[in-house]
């Protein structure tokens, strides 16, 4: 098989040569790496990867093909894909198509046969940075390509949720009897999140990222949820304002990832950009409320800045850091002690990933149950 040449160019001028993988052409984005050994289809279709070029540290990608069941959204969102050694053909009973064909069909430019271990170490030492992948028979000189990379927008300051959110609201029904109704703000929601809620008797009303308080209240919700999503959380001023109104009304709240960062802002905490972020399905996190350690799925490049020890004052009462990452002490969860609100920076929906953190959806259901019991008492 003849291969088309490709080159990966980082904004610091470093470049790697390989072969075109998926669509032939060019793409730019933020270079990040994922340490997930499995679950590449869920990674590719996670809307939080919008505008990011993902380097897979697992060397062999494509082994299980792709199917119509494991998508986390309606399309592949990564801006580009970097793999070491693609499977020549898939071998899995659930495979319906081959990964390279799927990438090509969706116009996703990738590169293979590059040293993904070296690229990962480079990003780990120098931090996430802009990157381009360029493929074709006659590639321009690296200098010209570097200019294109340096013109790409930065991730800091990027407001991207509106680009990935649903245009229309939709409802994911509860499995069995409906116990609770949740209004979920879609900032780039993964399909598994309402699915996990439905398994707990929750009917989820998924609303566009531009939803107002009236839109939320129209669902008559027992709880409000803010999803994961791409971009810089400090740009989400409308959503931060909406969440403040939700907290003010003491409606039970749960947030995942971007939702955790937005809760941080609503509590007057800041967010900052991590050197290279956490992406993968093998990150150890401690739930400080129980002392239990869980292995969890992550995909974040920003984090909340909050005091680690004890409680701290917020406009909505005292709060605490509920979870921390055991690798680097990054804040992985917030808990409003004086109100019905909590969030985590990682992914209890576990798509892909271990199911250790599934209890958080039960915690949300319990919070809604307690709150409705309290409301009846008052
Ligand atoms: N998965 C997410 O919600 C990511 C949140 C945010 N875009 C970050 O990179 O930190």
Is 156 inside a domain boundary? no
Instruction: Tell me, yes or no, whether 53 and 143 share the same domain.
Output: yes
CATH of the domain at 226: 3.40.50.880
Same domain flag for 170 and 128: no
Instruction: State whether 356 and 210 are in the same domain.
Output: yes
Site to substitute for ligand 1 among 230, 234, 274, 304, most atoms within 8 A of C-beta: 230
What are the residues whose beta carbons fall under 8 Å from the beta carbon of 148, sequence distance 6 or more? 26, 28, 132, 134
* Residue 349 appears among annotated catalytic residues: yes
Atom of ligand 1 nearest to the CA of 46: 1
Residue 147 lies in a domain: yes
Q: 140 and 201: one domain?
A: no
Instruction: Note whether 89 and 204 are same-domain residues.
Output: no
Say what the pLDDT of residue 38 is. Answer: 95
Number of domains present in the structure of the chain: 2
Residue 269 to residue 261: CA distance in whole angstroms:
9
pLDDT per position as a tens digit, 68-93: 999 999 999 999 999 999 999 999 99
Between the CA atoms of 343, 256, 296 and 132, what dihedral angle is there, to the nearest 10 degrees?
-140
Active-site annotation holds for 257: yes
Rounded to 5, what percent of the chain is helix, strand, coil? 25, 35, 40
Residues 289 and 240 both lie in one domain:
yes
Q: Are 110 and 247 contained in the same domain?
A: no
Peptide bond into 352 cis (omega under 30): yes
230 in a structural domain: yes
Q: Do 304 and 371 fall into the same domain?
A: yes
Whether residue 139 sits in one domain with residue 36: yes
Q: Identify whether residues 101 and 185 lie together within a single domain.
A: no
Residues touching ligand 1 (Cβ under 6 Å) are 48, 228-231, 257-258, 299-302
Neighbours of 256 (CB within 10 A): 26
Distance 144 CA to ligand 1 centre (A): 31
| 266, 342 Cβ separation under 8 angstroms | no
- Tell me if 319 is assigned to some domain: yes
Last residue of a domain, one of 95, 126, 151: 151
Query: Does 358 fall in a domain?
Result: yes
Decide: 221 and 197 in contact? Cβ < 8 Å. Answer: no
From 131, 151, 171, give the residue that closes a domain: 151
Query: CA 319 to CA 306: how far, in whole Å?
Result: 10
Q: How far apart are CA 202 and CA 181, in angstroms?
A: 6
Rounded Cα distance, 359 and 88, in Å: 39
Q: Are residues 201 and 143 in the same domain?
A: no
Query: 226 labelled as ligand-binding?
Result: no
Host domain of residue 274: 161-377
- The verdict on whether residue 52 carries a ligand-binding annotation is no
- State which of 123, 151, 179 marks the end of a domain: 151
301 a known binding residue?
yes
Is 48 known as a binding-site position? yes
The token pair that represents 364 in the structure block: 């949300």
Supply the pLDDT for residue 377. 61
Taking the centre of ligand 1 as the mean of its atom positions, its distance from the CA of residue 264, in whole angstroms, is: 13
**Consecutive H or E run containing 247:** helix 237-248
Residue 139 belongs to some domain of the structure: yes
Nearest CA to ligand 1 atom 7: 230
What is the 275 CA–ligand 1 centroid distance (Å)? Answer: 14
Rounded-to-integer distance, Cα 128 and Cα 254, Å: 29
What CATH number is associated with residue 36? Answer: 3.50.30.20
pLDDT at residue 125 in the model? 97
Q: Are 109 and 145 members of one domain?
A: yes
CA angle in degrees (0–180, nearest 5) for 38-345-250: 140
pLDDT-flagged residues of the chain (< 50) = none
Tens digits of per-residue pLDDT, 198-210?
Answer: 999 999 999 999 9
Q: Is residue 360 part of a domain?
A: yes
This complex has an ipTM of: 0.98
How many Cβ atoms are within 10 Å of 88's Cβ, its own excluded?
10
| 347 is an active site residue | yes
- Give the tokens for residue 367: 């919070």
347 CA closest ligand 1 atom index: 1
Q: Report pLDDT for 83.
A: 98
């Amino acid at each position: 098989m003849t291969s088309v040449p490709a080159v990966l160019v980082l904004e610091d001028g470093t470049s790697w040569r390989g072969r075109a993988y998926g669509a032939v052409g060019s793409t730019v984005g933020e270079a990040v790496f994922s340490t997930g050994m499995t679950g590449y289809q869920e990674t590719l279709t996670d809307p939080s990867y919008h505008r990011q070029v993902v380097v897979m540290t697992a060397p062999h990608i494509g082994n299980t093909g792709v199917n119509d069941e494991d998508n986390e959204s309606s399309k592949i969102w990564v801006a580009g894909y970097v793999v070491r050694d693609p499977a020549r053909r898939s071998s899995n009973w659930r495979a319906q198509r081959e990964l390279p064909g799927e990438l090509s069909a969706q116009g996703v430019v990738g590169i293979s046969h590059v040293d993904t271990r070296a690229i990962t170490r480079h990003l780990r030492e120098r931090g996430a940075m802009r990157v381009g992948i360029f493929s074709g028979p006659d590639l321009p000189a690296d200098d010209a390509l570097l200019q294109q990379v340096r013109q790409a927008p930065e991730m800091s300051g990027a407001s991207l949720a509106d680009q990935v959110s649903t245009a229309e609201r939709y409802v994911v029904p509860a499995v069995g009897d409906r116990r609770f109704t949740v209004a979920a703000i879609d900032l780039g929601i993964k399909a598994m999140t309402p699915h996990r809620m439905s398994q707990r008797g929750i009917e989820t009303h998924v609303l566009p990222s531009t939803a107002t308080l009236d839109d939320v209240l129209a669902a008559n919700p027992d709880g409000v949820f803010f999803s994961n999503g791409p971009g810089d959380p400090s740009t989400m001023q409308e959503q931060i304002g909406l969440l403040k109104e939700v907290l003010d009304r003491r409606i039970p709240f749960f947030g995942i990832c971007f939702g955790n960062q937005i809760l941080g802002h609503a509590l007057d905490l800041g967010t900052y950009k991590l050197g290279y972020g956490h992406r993968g399905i093998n990150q150890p996190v401690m739930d400080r409320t129980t002392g239990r350690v869980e292995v969890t799925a992550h995909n974040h490049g920003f984090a909340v800045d909050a005091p680690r020890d004890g409680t701290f004052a917020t406009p909505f009462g005292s709060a605490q850091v509920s979870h921390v990452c055991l690798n680097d002490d990054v804040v992985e969860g917030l808990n409003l002690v004086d109100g019905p609100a909590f969030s985590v920076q990682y992914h209890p929906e576990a798509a892909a990933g271990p199911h250790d953190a599934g209890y958080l959806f039960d915690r949300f259901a319990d919070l809604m149950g307690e709150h409705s019991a309290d409301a009846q008492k008052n």
